[in-house]
Structure 1
Amino acid sequence: MISEERKNKIKYSLKNTKERRKNQIITIVKTKIYMDKLSNKTVNTLKILFLESKWLYNYVINREFTDDLFKTDYRINCVDVYVIDHYEKRKLKYLSSQMKQGLIERARDNIKSLHELKNNGFKVGSLRFKSFISSIPLKQFNNTYKITNNSYIRIQGIKQPLRVQTVNE
């Protein structure tokens, strides 16, 4: 059982957090990476990172493996990938847990959007498999990514800082 002092401390902390968040501004930063100055290892890491994100997204929306999209666990390390006429198990080595969370959340949001459109009378189909993914959501500043200055960004799992062109939205 929690004491009154502890309850008041939690209540005060939550109140302070709400006040602090009222002044915070949500920002979304889209960047384009300059590939000409990257080492071969970094280029390969980026290619594999986006390939693994495609595998995970397609695995999540595939009803053959996941009965309920909303119960998908982000701690998954192996996914089944369709190759020509059969499925192969592939390991996810480069995607961090927060990147996986972001991709799973994106699939859930897409399902919710289709559901809302259907409820509003629009004719909708199911989610289609992706042949490529061009963006990965990076959730936590200073953990999954860090903007060092206006021209460079660091991403978790990639040692070399990436030179970027920032496109704010």
Structure 2
Amino acid sequence: MSYVSVISAVVRALAAETINSAGGCDFDQKVQADRVPGEISGKEAAFLDDCWVHRRLHKRLSADHWSALCAKYSTHADRKRMAIMDMVRGIKSPAPSRFIECAIVTWAYPKLQGVDGKRSLNVLPAGWYVMDNWCDDPVPVKTQERWRRDIRKSLEQKVDDALATAQEVLDAEGLIRTEAA
């Protein structure tokens, strides 16, 4: 198995944690003429590869890098929440702790298009995205925007560093396609 990019590998590996075989119709042929009996192929092989990549990245990335990727890309609600809390402890900012936490949560769960963001289950209530709700004390809007911008810049830098390290791991394993499509 090879992936188109490091981001697709990370997203698939993190999504593998939430996939189960409990539902859905399977329209793939169960018997294939060129299939060796007992061989795993198709969706099952891709799923096993995703699980292998998940384990490899989890083992080889630092805790900070793993938390950054989980906070940004994971679809597993509990893992995403734990990663967000890890990120809260690692961000340095003059902003109050509640502001930092809200800035990270809204970064991890960006506001989506659509009516009240109802295109996805992973949407926060509209009040979460109002910065005035992030502090108990009144703070000028420009200061709030600067704090949020600096926090998000720091978060994106952590994700970029984690993706660079993941790229090195996946390149060493030969899992990223290098030829043009």
TM bracket, shorter-chain basis: under 0.3
TM-score by length of 1: 0.28
Larger % of helix: which?
2
TM-score (norm 2): 0.26
| Greater fraction strand | 1
